[in-house]
Structure 1
Amino acid sequence: MTEHTQYTEDNIRSLDWKEHIRMRPGMYIGKLGDGSSQDDGIYILLKEVLDNSIDEFVMGAGKTIEISIQGNKVIVRDYGRGIPLGKVVDVVSKMNTGGKYDSRAFKKSVGLNGVGTKAVNALSTHFRVESTRDGKSASADFEQGELKAQDFLDETSRRKGTKVSFVPDESIFKNYKYRHEYVVKMLKNYVYLNPGLTIVFNGEKYYSENGLKDLLEETINDSDKIYPIVHLRGNDIEIALTHHKTQYSEEYHSFVNGQNTTQGGTHLAAFREAVVKTIREFYGKNYDASDVRKSIVSAISIKVMEPVFESQTKTKLGSTDMGGGLPTVRTYVNDFVKTQLDNFLHKNPQTAEALQRKILQAERERKELSGIRKLAKERAKKASLHNKKLRDCRVHLGDLKHNRRLETTLFITEGDSASGSITKSRDVNTQAVFSLRGKPLNSYGMSKKIVYENEEFNLLQAALNIEESMADLRYNNIVIATDADVDGMHIRLLLITFFLQFFPELIKEGHLYILQTPLFRVRNKKKTIYCYSEEERKNAIEELKPKPEITRFKGLGEISPDEFQYFIGEDIRLDPVMLDKDKSIEDLLSFYMGKNTQDRQEFIINNLKVELDIVEK
């Protein structure tokens, strides 16, 4: 008879607050990551501290927030009311302690209900909080959530407010670094949502006067707008919208109580519906919803009492009510858009005409595409039954309840050997592989028709599930994994062209990456080090001397599946593909992929970096 394990009181252990956070960090801050993605944990840590300072500004206390990131150390200083001095330790280290539980003080706050700074504290090797109010000051120092020192000053000349500094724990966030672009994007969103607030980051000032209008001005180049931005504000709602000349898809920036709800939710669904309804009624035509919304670039922000989100990191609003005796979110958004947008179109006939021309153009294009779309869908249906190009994973971005959804990754590879290596060494739960056959088509200047006519593009679009909208995207990270040689670079450029031409928001929203692969392997009998640069190679040789074995990798196909697991596992290195806001997508594409060979040749000659093969003597 098999012996059963005893189940007694000894089996049940209660974790203290910091142990629980350190053991299950994903529950509190989403995925960990190394900073190459904008939703990596190190940015959530900054955001959680910052949200408390923003709440102070919203309450009318303190108009400036100062942030400094030097290496791995983050400092956030506000000039709000300061944490009550007797509670400085409790607020950052005791669960269920915080001002947010008292709805009177924080009617429409954004912070994590008092969990935020505690999570930051538990996940930092060093965490310090200082609070100053009424000419007195209190501070506390922690290491991995453990209180190490406290101080209380009866008299100080410091200005009131709170200062928090922390260093994320390297044993949890491996090989991480803060990327300036991602921090700036987050801070800009904060100032757009809080006109009048100044954020100073490493000496640079960020400020907005016109809220979401400024956000769209930043997002869309003047030459790409079909009509000037429509900007409408109400008590608890603000919207801004225009249509893009060449972009095919819909683009939305949505916020609730200052929180960027990247997955949308009830407010965004209501907004998309309200825009269509209002426009149909204004023109007295039953336009197809997809024609009205095609190429829209817009932003919506609402304030809700005690919002309910569908995940701990608050990326999707689940609330159906506005709270405080107001109607449902859907009714509130619908009524606002119906009244305000309708009034605006009546007062601005030029905008109304430009918008109608855009809708009619979208209708023509859709009708031209409908036949070929039908054919392509049938082809894709057959292909998906035996889609040899896609080796899928089990978890997808849309699985909102799954704690690994943000890790979901699609690798786009070239050739059988590379895709074979990745397929054999990938994590089947979160990593999928799509293999290309040779070089993809140069899609520059082509219409959407080509996406359906070209089998490879059609299958890639189907794999990503983005034909109708970005809301159904199946993978959080799309990683181009090609060789670092001339052919690999060309394939990379052709794929980026495809995404820029037809799905630019994939890039704008930070989903597209290039996989970094090691150039060298340096090893001796005891240790192997993979090196991504000449400097790393020199350091490895120094570490493993006297005579390590050095291998130079030429392509992904050369790397064995056993080794591949080290480059696509927790030590994966990704380079995000980012857009320069000063260049329109059209300008970028025509420069790199158009017929201006002379300009491009000069650019390449002036910017050429020669990487020589290093031969070991």
Structure 2
Amino acid sequence: MAEQLSLESATTAPADHGYNEDSIRSLDWREHIRLRPGMYIGKLGDGSSPDDGIYILVKEVIDNSIDEHMMGYGRTIEVKITEQRVTVRDYGRGIPLGKVVDVVSKINTGGKYDSKVFQKSVGLNGVGTKAVNALSTNFVVQSVRDGMMKSAEFQNGKLISDPKPIKTSQRNGTMMAFEPDPSIFRNFRFIPDFLESQFWNYAYLNAGLTINFNGQKYHSENGLRDLLERKTDPEAIRYPVIHLKGTDIEMALTHGNDYGEEYYSFVNGQYTTQGGTHLAAFREGIVKTVREHYGKEYDATDIRASIVGAIAIRVQEPVFESQTKTKLGSIVMEPEGALTVRNFVVDFVKEHLDNYLHKNPDTKEALKKRIEQSERERKDMAGVKKLANQRAKKASLHNRKLRDCRFHFDEGKAPEKEALTTLFITEGDSASGSITKSRNVELEAVFSLRGKPLNCFGMKKKIVYENEELNLLQHALNIEEGLEGLRYNRVVIATDADVDGMHIRLLLLTFFLQFFPDLVRNGHVYILETPLFRVRNKKQTIYCYDEKEKQAAIKKLGRNPEITRFKGLGEISPDEFGKFIGDNIRLEPVILQSDRSIQKLLTYYMGKNTPARQEFIIDNLRMEKDLVTSDTLPASETIVPAAEAELV
């Protein structure tokens, strides 16, 4: 019996598949970064989102120059960005010449480990520029110190040129230039609006610093006050921006008329897009201060409704929750543990905001009126909200509008996947049917509209609960109480590329901007680009997104290719749709420019036919003949030339 058991064990034991000493492999720093780039720069992306990898690369290089400025060296940073190449030049002390190669190619090498030199810098892990180097097809570093210049050049992190130092007349400082690897950042592009926002933040947080970006200067003298004044409409805010500064802390706040809360938080000059301990303490401190100052237990949501605020702190050795440093963790500011970031921020807000309100009675009264207005609106909406939520709960059990996915952005169960969790908002059943059949069911959900949604411009938020479709969309996104529970990182409007489709886009954008502007501000809303033409022969099929691409495809495929014009999303088969919403998806981000007022924007486009809009239409109306001949279309699709009015 024992022999039988031994025999069975031997025959059923799993094979070791050659697992031995040769199976154990060590990767060098360059190989590991290129194999697992997400560990170092977060998600890769193609540049259509402000937190995509190419912007993190830019940030990692500029952060070093910012740290030099913070230490009192260099007041100007030159940045030049073309389609593929980024060049950053500062006028700080320059990297010590003997360590130029090491600081960009050896992990855990840098001057920031010496706290005497860099007291409160952004990065302390010695990884940033090494990641940029490893993820670039070409990387050049150059340092100038006291009349001598040392440079080095790399390809994909490998050193290819290391000449000896030479004499120079250039000013001290460091230059780094790189080209992101297109095999890693596929189809990437830099969007100027995202870069502009990034550079303005650097300027606001470093008074006196000037950033020259492609000939444009970014400079601020008043810090966070300038930030809020640029982000708000002076005619819409309830009171002048409150600007308070202390040792290692600065804050600014005001109240407007938009729904939601809008915050900008920073640690050691780093824009923490996901907030963290300091932002939570800022919000808590405002609520506590207001309640104690007015002697009333106002609801926290009423106090923070329509608020626009900014908080910046500087601490030694900050602890972030990821390499990209977008969220501050819980840290102690003093060795003995007596002072945490939360205590530090809450105490500062309570003392200085309370003093400010005592000294400025007009602001005190305006703030009180804004809070009480929010309270009235909330109570007025309570009954409608309760009924609507009950109706939505019943509808969600059999909600044919939403075809959900497995993973969601707010769950945090699949870290690598959640960053790409997407909701497609489509018009009609035919379009939603094609997307539903071709989507990735783990990551992509579909919400189907019934015709055109309501134009909710100028309406109160209670219309969201009274309108069944808008209420169901709100619940699908889970944004009723703010973005903390947002279920999809990307909200993609997928409509036909015709007049009706454009109108639906505008109506949905009006809904988001009117009631959930933070969804747009935080870069979650996109427009799906789908091909207009399919050009093919017996050997190859090319999908084209505009007339220029179509002509290039015709030229490539040769004589008489078959050309199909897609008039709507419903005409694209599920098999074809899968190619457009997968790895090669083309998304156009909806960017709200920081100097544009939401209400002015919506009034212009969605309000009554104002004289300004009439004048714009008249000035930009032109007649032209749209000549399309049989040279570019098969006989069955030849379009008769026609004169048509076009807005340009």
Same fold (TM over 0.5): yes
Q: 1:525 aligns with which of 532, 538, 545?
A: 538
Output one character per residue of 1:447-474: Cα deviation in whole Å (capped at 9) or x when no partner.
0001111111111111222111223322
1:318 aligns to what?
Answer: 329
1:306 equivalenced with 2:327 (yes/no): no
Report the 3-state secondary structure (helix = DSSP H, G, I; strand = E; otherwise coil) of the residue aligned with 2:265: strand
2:269 aligns to what?
Answer: 258
CA distance in 2, matches of 1:356, 1:265: 28
- Report how far residue 524 of structure 1 moved: 2.1
1:248 equivalenced with 2:259 (yes/no): yes
Shift in CA distance, 522/112, structure 1 to aligned 2, threshold 3 Å: farther
Greater mean alpha carbon deviation, residues 318-327 or residues 338-347: 318-327
CA distance in 2, matches of 1:481, 1:8: 52
CA distance in 1, matches of 2:375, 2:67: 45
2:459 aligns to what?
Answer: 446
Aligned pairs for 1:353-392 (under 5 A) are: 353-392=365-404
Output one character per residue of 1:79-121: Cα deviation in whole Å (capped at 9) or x when no partner.
1111111111111111121222223322221136211111111
Shift in CA distance, 443/521, structure 1 to aligned 2, threshold 3 Å: same
1:477 aligns to what?
Answer: 490
2:584 aligns to what?
Answer: 571
Give the alignment's TM-score, normalised by structure 2: 0.92
CA contact 1:221–1:581 (8 Å) conserved in 2: no
CA contact 1:264–1:317 (8 Å) conserved in 2: yes
1:491 aligns to what?
Answer: 504
CA distance in 2, matches of 1:382, 1:606: 51
Aligned pairs for 1:408-423 (under 5 A) are: 408-423=421-436
Shift in CA distance, 125/608, structure 1 to aligned 2, threshold 3 Å: farther
Greater mean alpha carbon deviation, residues 429-438 or residues 385-394: 385-394
CA contact 2:77–2:91 (8 Å) conserved in 1: yes
CA contact 2:193–2:593 (8 Å) conserved in 1: no
1:427 equivalenced with 2:440 (yes/no): yes
Report the 3-state secondary structure (helix = DSSP H, G, I; strand = E; otherwise coil) of the residue aligned with 1:411: strand
CA distance in 2, matches of 1:575, 1:22: 27
Shift in CA distance, 232/611, structure 1 to aligned 2, threshold 3 Å: farther
Report the 3-state secondary structure (helix = DSSP H, G, I; strand = E; otherwise coil) of the residue aligned with 1:10: helix
1:84 aligns to what?
Answer: 96
1:291 equivalenced with 2:298 (yes/no): no
Output one character per residue of 1:307-334: Cα deviation in whole Å (capped at 9) or x when no partner.
2222221221112322466611111111
CA distance in 2, matches of 1:479, 1:568: 11
Aligned pairs for 1:103-252 (under 5 A) are: 103-111=115-123, 113-245=125-257, 247-252=258-263
Q: 1:15 aligns with which of 4, 23, 27?
A: 27
Shift in CA distance, 9/612, structure 1 to aligned 2, threshold 3 Å: farther
CA contact 1:17–1:94 (8 Å) conserved in 2: yes
- Report how far residue 553 of structure 1 moved: 0.7
Q: Residue 141 of structure 1 aligns to which amino acid in structure 2?
A: E
1:505 equivalenced with 2:493 (yes/no): no
Report the 3-state secondary structure (helix = DSSP H, G, I; strand = E; otherwise coil) of the residue aligned with 1:314: coil
Report the 3-state secondary structure (helix = DSSP H, G, I; strand = E; otherwise coil) of the residue aligned with 1:224: coil
Aligned pairs for 1:319-334 (under 5 A) are: 319-323=330-334, 327-334=339-346
- Report how far residue 611 of structure 1 moved: 10
Report the 3-state secondary structure (helix = DSSP H, G, I; strand = E; otherwise coil) of the residue aligned with 2:415: coil
CA distance in 1, matches of 2:47, 2:403: 27
CA distance in 2, matches of 1:64, 1:9: 53
- Report how far residue 593 of structure 1 moved: 1.5
- Report how far residue 602 of structure 1 moved: 4.4
CA distance in 2, matches of 1:386, 1:63: 61
1:281 aligns to what?
Answer: 292
Report the 3-state secondary structure (helix = DSSP H, G, I; strand = E; otherwise coil) of the residue aligned with 1:103: coil
CA contact 1:305–1:323 (8 Å) conserved in 2: no
CA distance in 2, matches of 1:410, 1:607: 35
Q: 1:594 aligns with which of 586, 607, 617?
A: 607
1:39 aligns to what?
Answer: 51
Output one character per residue of 1:160-205: Cα deviation in whole Å (capped at 9) or x when no partner.
1110000111111112211111111000000101111111101111
Report the 3-state secondary structure (helix = DSSP H, G, I; strand = E; otherwise coil) of the residue aligned with 2:372: helix
- Report how far residue 431 of structure 1 moved: 2.0
Q: Residue 174 of structure 1 aligns to which amino acid in structure 2?
A: R
Report the 3-state secondary structure (helix = DSSP H, G, I; strand = E; otherwise coil) of the residue aligned with 1:131: strand
2:638 aligns to what?
Answer: none
Report the 3-state secondary structure (helix = DSSP H, G, I; strand = E; otherwise coil) of the residue aligned with 1:286: coil
Shift in CA distance, 100/94, structure 1 to aligned 2, threshold 3 Å: same
Q: Residue 493 of structure 1 aligns to which amino acid in structure 2?
A: L
1:551 aligns to what?
Answer: 564
Greater mean alpha carbon deviation, residues 603-612 or residues 266-275: 603-612
Output one character per residue of 1:39-66: Cα deviation in whole Å (capped at 9) or x when no partner.
1111111000001111111111111110
Report the 3-state secondary structure (helix = DSSP H, G, I; strand = E; otherwise coil) of the residue aligned with 1:471: helix
2:637 aligns to what?
Answer: none
CA contact 1:63–1:197 (8 Å) conserved in 2: yes
1:61 equivalenced with 2:73 (yes/no): yes
Q: Residue 579 of structure 1 aligns to which amino acid in structure 2?
A: L
CA distance in 2, matches of 1:8, 1:607: 73
1:267 equivalenced with 2:284 (yes/no): no
Q: Residue 290 of structure 2 aligns to which amino acid in structure 1?
A: I
1:340 aligns to what?
Answer: 352
Output one character per residue of 1:529-585: Cα deviation in whole Å (capped at 9) or x when no partner.
111111111111111113322111111111111111221122211122223444422
Greater mean alpha carbon deviation, residues 463-472 or residues 249-258: 463-472
Greater mean alpha carbon deviation, residues 557-566 or residues 418-427: 418-427
* Sequence identity (%): 67
Give the alignment's TM-score, normalised by structure 1: 0.96
How many residues are paired up?
616
Report the 3-state secondary structure (helix = DSSP H, G, I; strand = E; otherwise coil) of the residue aligned with 1:429: coil
CA distance in 1, matches of 2:109, 2:627: 59
CA distance in 1, matches of 2:294, 2:279: 23
Greater mean alpha carbon deviation, residues 412-421 or residues 93-102: 93-102
CA contact 1:48–1:112 (8 Å) conserved in 2: no
CA contact 1:522–1:531 (8 Å) conserved in 2: yes
Report the 3-state secondary structure (helix = DSSP H, G, I; strand = E; otherwise coil) of the residue aligned with 1:127: strand
Greater mean alpha carbon deviation, residues 61-70 or residues 502-511: 502-511
Report the 3-state secondary structure (helix = DSSP H, G, I; strand = E; otherwise coil) of the residue aligned with 1:182: helix
Q: Which runs of 5+ in 2 are unaligned?
A: 1-10, 635-648
Output one character per residue of 1:411-465: Cα deviation in whole Å (capped at 9) or x when no partner.
1111111112112222233222211111111101110001111111111111222
CA distance in 2, matches of 1:54, 1:601: 47
CA distance in 2, matches of 1:120, 1:556: 39
- Report how far residue 14 of structure 1 moved: 1.4
CA contact 1:522–1:541 (8 Å) conserved in 2: yes
Q: Residue 443 of structure 1 aligns to which amino acid in structure 2?
A: C
CA distance in 2, matches of 1:536, 1:427: 27
Report the 3-state secondary structure (helix = DSSP H, G, I; strand = E; otherwise coil) of the residue aligned with 2:140: strand
- Report how far residue 527 of structure 1 moved: 2.1
Shift in CA distance, 347/31, structure 1 to aligned 2, threshold 3 Å: same
Shift in CA distance, 613/257, structure 1 to aligned 2, threshold 3 Å: farther
2:642 aligns to what?
Answer: none
1:540 aligns to what?
Answer: 553
Report the 3-state secondary structure (helix = DSSP H, G, I; strand = E; otherwise coil) of the residue aligned with 2:178: strand
Report the 3-state secondary structure (helix = DSSP H, G, I; strand = E; otherwise coil) of the residue aligned with 1:403: helix
- Report how far residue 304 of structure 1 moved: 2.0
Greater mean alpha carbon deviation, residues 534-543 or residues 307-316: 307-316
